[in-house]
Amino acid sequence: MKNFKPIVLLAALLFMITLMVPTLLVLPFGEEHASGKLGENVKGPALENPTSSIEVAVYRTSKQTVEKLPLEEYVRGVVASEMPAEFAKEALKAQALTARTYIVKQMMSDEKIKLPEDAIVADTEFFQVYKSDEELKKAWGPDYSRKIKRIEEAVQETSGQILTYEGTPIDATFFSTSNGFTENSEAIWINPLPYLKSVESPWDKSSPKFSGQKVLPIAEFESKLGVKLAGTGNIGEVTEFTAGKRVAKVDISGKEISGKDIREKLGLMSTDFTWERKGDKIVINTQGYGHGVGMSQYGANGMAEEGKKYQDIVQYYYQGVEITASDSFITTITAKK
């Protein structure tokens, strides 16, 4: 028994040491003594929004100056200018994707439109309408804070995302209101694009811009179209329709004119039109507002109100596209500078 007790005490001591060693090793690195955690204070491009590091040079037409601003700030100004702030959040987010995709594609392109002082875009409809905070405050008045908050959330929640087709940023065209269908790209522009095909858009019928009317004196109608109407009878015949149920071609007194040219020359809301003679005037009725190619804004809002997410909206109006991180494209843009 005398020899057994020291052995037991030794075994017990070793057991206690075994238990204490892990504790001694862990305690110095416990929560209360931590001086840093994984991911803290780490700086570098991998943890930053790539679009925050690049600027857009915008030609301000009214001031005739070039303004440089961060890309996401530019996107915010475009969304605020191009789509009503009251639209559903998911529609605003879809618009943010189109705006960001457009400017990334524009900055990547080697074919620049000539603008003063190396500006990439202007602030007009030919590019994308852009308004600064000062302009928005003036336009919105007391509603500015509420409206800009909605726009900012839509831009932030889609930050760094663009639309691509087979790995390339798309032509993310959009317009206000369809006639119930969007249009194939080749109906308006020369080249057909696989992601810009006609789709049904029934939500647009609730748009305040769905129906329009324009009245022109016969003499003005003839002058603008370069035609001479007969004294009586039909005012031309539609000889071809587009995939989007719009007028492709009209024969007027033996002269064939495209629906696109008629819309532009007469200043119509859409190429979906009918007309009739009333006395010495031509009354023209239209359905839809805009060129009809790509995303319908009122259609997007209708989809959002039905519970569709922005991903659903853009992939409906731009067929076969993917929502892609802009990182690699921003890197390409930066490398070109």
Question: Residue 232: its pLDDT value, please?
Answer: 73
Question: Cα–Cα distance between 83 and 260 in angstroms, integer?
Answer: 24
Do residues 295 and 177 lie in contact, with contact meaning Cβ atoms separated by under 8 Å?
no
Question: Residue 21: its pLDDT value, please?
Answer: 35
Question: Cα–Cα distance between 200 and 206 in angstroms, integer?
Answer: 14
CA atoms within 13 A on the CB side of 271: 28
H or E segment and range at residue 323: strand 322-325
DSSP strand E in 176-280: where? Answer: 211-217, 237-241, 247-252, 255-258, 273-278
Among 89, 95, 53, which Cα is nearest to 72's?
53
Residue listed under structure tokens 């590019």: 127
CB atoms within 10 A of CB 213: 12
Each residue's pLDDT tens digit, 120-143: 999 999 999 999 999 999 999 999
Tell me the whole-structure pTM to 2 decimals: 0.82
The single-letter DSSP state of residue 167 is: T
Q: For the chain, which residues score pLDDT lower than 70?
A: 1-52, 337
Question: Residue 34: its pLDDT value, please?
Answer: 33
Question: Cα–Cα distance between 282 and 124 in angstroms, integer?
Answer: 31
Question: Residue 111: its pLDDT value, please?
Answer: 80
Radius of gyration of the chain measured on its C-alpha atoms: 30
CB atoms within 10 A of CB 34: 9
Question: Residue 337: its pLDDT value, please?
Answer: 66
